[in-house]
Amino acid sequence: MRLKTAGTPRSPAALVSFDVDGTLVASRGDQSNKLHKRAFSHAIRAVAGIETGIDVVRHAGGTDPLILKAVLEHHGVPGDAAMALLPELQREMVEFARAQPPGDAAAGIGVLPGVRESLAALSGAPGRVLVCLVTGNFEPIAWLKVGAVGLGTYFAAPRFGGFGSDHCGGDTAEMWRDRAVLVRVAREKAGAVCAELGLPPVARAVHVGDTPADVRAAVEGGAVAVGVCTGVFGRGDLEACLVGQPPGAGHVVLDDMGGLLGALAGMGVDLGAQGGGC
């Protein structure tokens, strides 16, 4: 959808960003996240000649480039050499994903409860809330997945966010640090979008994600963290990342996306008469 500005409020907007895997969509069945995983395997085979998959390393909360680097290192490729291969690996992954039948992007993933309702509300009142992605996925793959399950229309045009294709610092031990950069990247892009559309600058940022990496990244990136227990991590895992945070910071952990709109309203985000805005 094109973000309209006529008649919209002049008060500063809020930016709400979403992780994809485990937050908006869940991997399901024996074809779990099929397209994305096949793209990883194809790229590593094509570029490095290694037959493998990403499940040889721990990758929950990681970014695509750091996962690629970790897999290569697992197979004995030195870190510097793996970093040098990342541009070619990214190109192979994206070209592979784009070349597959459209239905493949939806295979093995499904929209989580409360997601459509939350995104629909947030996309209902232009100027109050900007909605974007902050995900470790390479950008074209992220939009392929979101579009394939019917969520693409909830994100305003021009679509933007922070993606694995925007940054790779190389630290596979603490992948959340790259995600923190992506939170800041998304806010910078939001500033450019606001300027382009004649909207006031973003006053606050909220990041929604299902992993400790998302929660840590939100805090480090200057956003309010909303953890959702819809992935492989429980409430205790997410809340542990908030120990020591000031009580008034607004960070929260929810059981699922059903509580998101209430949490945003409690933070003072202007959701408009329709319960949301974009």
164 with 191, same domain: the answer is yes
Number of domains in the chain: 2
Note the pLDDT tens digit of each residue in 24-49.
Answer: 999 887 778 889 999 999 999 999 99
Domain boundary among 71, 106, 141: 106
Token representation of residue 153: 């229309």
Instruction: Name the average pLDDT for the chain.
Output: 91
Tokens 């929810």 belong to 254
97 with 111, same domain: the answer is no
129 with 169, same domain: the answer is yes
CB-CB contact of 22 with 238 (8 Å): no
Q: pLDDT class for 125, splitting at 50, 70, 90? A: low
Give pLDDT, residue 271. Answer: 83
69 with 158, same domain: the answer is no
Q: Which 3-state string (H, E, C) describes 123-146?
A: CCCCCCEEEEEECCCCHHHHHHHH
130 with 256, same domain: the answer is yes
Q: How far, in whole angstroms, is CA 157 from its chain's centroid? A: 17
CB-CB contact of 216 with 238 (8 Å): no
Domain boundary among 106, 129, 150: 106
Query: Is residue 276 predicted with pLDDT exceeding 50?
Result: no
Nearest in space to 179 (alpha carbons), one of 190, 164, 159, 165: 164
Contacts of 45 (CB under 8 A, 6+ apart): 51, 52
Query: Is residue 72 predicted with pLDDT exceeding 80?
Result: yes
Greatest Cα pair distance, the chain, in angstroms, is 58
125 with 259, same domain: the answer is yes
* Angstrom distance (rounded) from CA 249 to CA 252: 9
Domain boundary among 75, 106, 137: 106
Return the percentage of the chain with pLDDT > 90, whole number.
78
Q: Is residue 271 part of a domain?
A: no
Q: Is residue 6 part of a domain?
A: no
* Angstrom distance (rounded) from CA 175 to CA 30: 27
In this structure, the number of other CB atoms found within 10 A of the CB of residue 210 comes to 29
Query: Is residue 3 predicted with pLDDT exceeding 90?
Result: no
The CATH number covering residue 96 comes to 1.10.150
* Angstrom distance (rounded) from CA 190 to CA 200: 11
Give pLDDT, residue 273. Answer: 57
Buried b / exposed e across 113-137, counting CB within 10 Å, b at 16+? ebbbebbbbbbbbbbbbbbbbbbbb
197 with 96, same domain: the answer is no
Query: Is residue 157 predicted with pLDDT exceeding 90?
Result: no
Q: Is residue 177 part of a domain?
A: yes
* Angstrom distance (rounded) from CA 65 to CA 105: 19
- Report which residue type is found at 143: W
Mean pLDDT calculated for residue range 126-144: 92
Domain ranges, residue 63: 33-106
Query: Is residue 278 predicted with pLDDT exceeding 60?
Result: no
